[in-house]
Structure 1
Amino acid sequence: MTDLDPPLRRYLGDLVTAARDVLGDDLVGAYAAGSVGLGAYQPGRSDVDVALVSAEALDLTRKQELVARLRHEALPCPARGLELVVYRWKIARSGTPEAGFEVELNTGARMPFRATWAAADRPAEDGLFWYGLDRSILHQCGYALLGPPAAETFADLFPADLRRLLTDSLRWWLALPTPPGDGPAPGAEDAVLGACRSLVKVRHGVWLSKVDAGRRLIADGWPGDPTAGAERRVHGEPGDLIERSIAARAGGPPPGGPEARAFQRAVLNEISG
């Protein structure tokens, strides 16, 4: 883990140690996903996404012990927060689009605490698409903290399941409330760049960080015309929106809600159509 931010490296090492104390030999592997796996971790902004893989199903006692050991109050997270999911090895290797997790934990100084003890307890309105998509990202670029390479532990989704989950995710984002008016909408940059990442996965078959996905779409042109002139690609819509969304992640003003939604709908139309 020599290429990671030093506080994050220490934290992930301590997390694996604590997980092994609870799960023992049932801990098959531990993997950093999300921004860490995609090489886009930003101290102070990013979450830490971790997937643990157990050999067998966990009983409630061990789930509760694991949450107690890993929650922010017991093991302080140096990032905005920790999003941890535990899967059985059988589920990780199945390529299923279903949630299928054993236990889920959200915890951190700037993240509301949440523990979900089984996939069946996850409310549908909170989104059930996250988990299959996360395992697809793990298959491509999971950062192994313990155990075999992520590509050997996590199977990818079938193309039809991938499109369905990406469609579900875009519809979920579009259903979220946004501030009234056309002014800057905090968080709209992540909605735009998240849609970019989904579209790049469909067009090119690869997961990229949000920023890299935005830049890839600018290079593509819209809607994917490789002969489009550089001026239109960068300065016309939606290239300008993507550029402003990338700048917002570095401290610039976020784009407006209506233009972000229009972009998301265009991406949804291409992926679902």
Structure 2
Amino acid sequence: MPEPLRRYLTDLVAVAGCVLGDQLCGAYAAGSVGLGAYQPGRSDVDVALVCADELDRAVARELVARLRHEALPCPARGLELVVYRREVAAAGSPDPGFEVELNSGAGMDFRATYDPAQRPPADGLFWYGLDRSILHQSGQALLGPPAAEVFADLAPDDLHRLVVTALRWWLDRPAPTGDVPAPGAEDAVLGACRSWARLRHGVWLPKVAAGRRLLADGSPLADAATTDLVELSIAARTGGIPPTGPQARAFQRRILADLTATAPT
């Protein structure tokens, strides 16, 4: 972990402890940090806090005020913070279930949400169950018990449904057209590989590792065109030319068709 990120997470946990006091049960690095794939200059910082009981709205607002980028500068593109009650983390529910959500950073729009009902369905309600599944497997404890003891995984049918919903959500979003490189298309390709790896092999992998796993699997998906596309996408994460929007979309549709062809196990 880069030292600026380590210091930032230490400070974040300290500030959260000051605001939440005995309510704070744990703090966990999720996303790329938890998966050991944090890339300076590219990755966000994903953090989940666990509290004992429902948060008072005034406390939640103070937490947002103290942790937003303007108060505690994030060394990455931005902070994506979610606070869950202990019972929600342990439930294995597919529902959002958060107490407060904060997005803040130099490279992202500020957003604070204090109730799942305030979250527009068009923005996706599947993120939270999937994030808690990743936390169950790979969350890095910054404070409190191991993440696997705090966050329950999803049931197979719920996991399958949320992964498929996420892929369909991405396909419904506007995408670049034309035969020109589209920055960000590489993440669409590798993110689809990660979804495939979780449902086909039962493990959440970093995006690059998921792409490699698909190519090594011997699946009919891993034909010559897919190999070229995945290798192009991997290279794009370190400065290479990204795929086009239509290439990424066609691949996402292939992954979606493969994952919806069989029932969850």
Mapped to 2, the partners of 1:52 and 1:154 lie a distance apart of 11
* Residues 1:186 and 2:174 are matched in the alignment: no
- Which residue is 1:48 aligned to? 45
One-letter amino acid of the counterpart of residue 203, structure 1: R
Mapped to 1, the partners of 2:154 and 2:179 lie a distance apart of 37
Mapped to 2, the partners of 1:128 and 1:271 lie a distance apart of 20
Deviation at 1:237, TM superposition (A): 1.7
TM-score, normalisation: structure 2: 0.97
Contact residue 93 and residue 153 of structure 1 kept, 8 A: yes
One-letter amino acid of the counterpart of residue 27, structure 1: L
What are the ranges of 5 or more consecutive residues in structure 1 without an aligned counterpart? 225-232
User: Residue by residue, what CA displacement relative to the aligned partner does 1:76-125 show, whole Å, maximum 9, x if unpaired?
Assistant: 00000000000000000000000110000000011110001111111000
- Which residue is 2:35 aligned to? 38
Contact residue 126 and residue 165 of structure 2 kept, 8 A: yes
* Residues 1:165 and 2:141 are matched in the alignment: no
* Matching residue within 244, 250, 253 for 2:238: 250
* Residues 1:148 and 2:139 are matched in the alignment: no
**SS state at 1:39 partner:** coil
Within-5 A mapping of 1:73-222 = 73-222=70-219
* Matching residue within 10, 16, 23 for 2:7: 10
What are the ranges of 5 or more consecutive residues in structure 2 without an aligned counterpart? none
- Which residue is 1:237 aligned to? 225
User: Runs of at least 4 residues of structure 1 off by over 6 A?
Assistant: none
* Residues 1:270 and 2:258 are matched in the alignment: yes
Mapped to 2, the partners of 1:57 and 1:182 lie a distance apart of 50
Mapped to 2, the partners of 1:254 and 1:222 lie a distance apart of 24
Aligned residues: 261
User: Residue by residue, what CA displacement relative to the aligned partner does 1:173-215 show, whole Å, maximum 9, x if unpaired?
Assistant: 1111112212111111000000000000011100000000000
Mapped to 2, the partners of 1:259 and 1:46 lie a distance apart of 23
Q: 1:222 to 1:256 in 2, by over 3 A?
A: farther
Contact residue 29 and residue 139 of structure 2 kept, 8 A: yes
Mapped to 2, the partners of 1:245 and 1:207 lie a distance apart of 19
One-letter amino acid of the counterpart of residue 190, structure 1: D
- Matched-pair identity in %: 70
Deviation at 1:223, TM superposition (A): 2.7
**SS state at 2:174 partner:** coil
TM-score, normalisation: structure 1: 0.94
Mapped to 2, the partners of 1:177 and 1:222 lie a distance apart of 29
Contact residue 143 and residue 150 of structure 1 kept, 8 A: yes
One-letter amino acid of the counterpart of residue 254, structure 1: P
**SS state at 1:268 partner:** helix
Mapped to 2, the partners of 1:258 and 1:94 lie a distance apart of 39
- Which residue is 2:247 aligned to? 259
**SS state at 2:251 partner:** helix
- Which residue is 1:229 aligned to? none
One-letter amino acid of the counterpart of residue 239, structure 2: G
One-letter amino acid of the counterpart of residue 268, structure 1: L
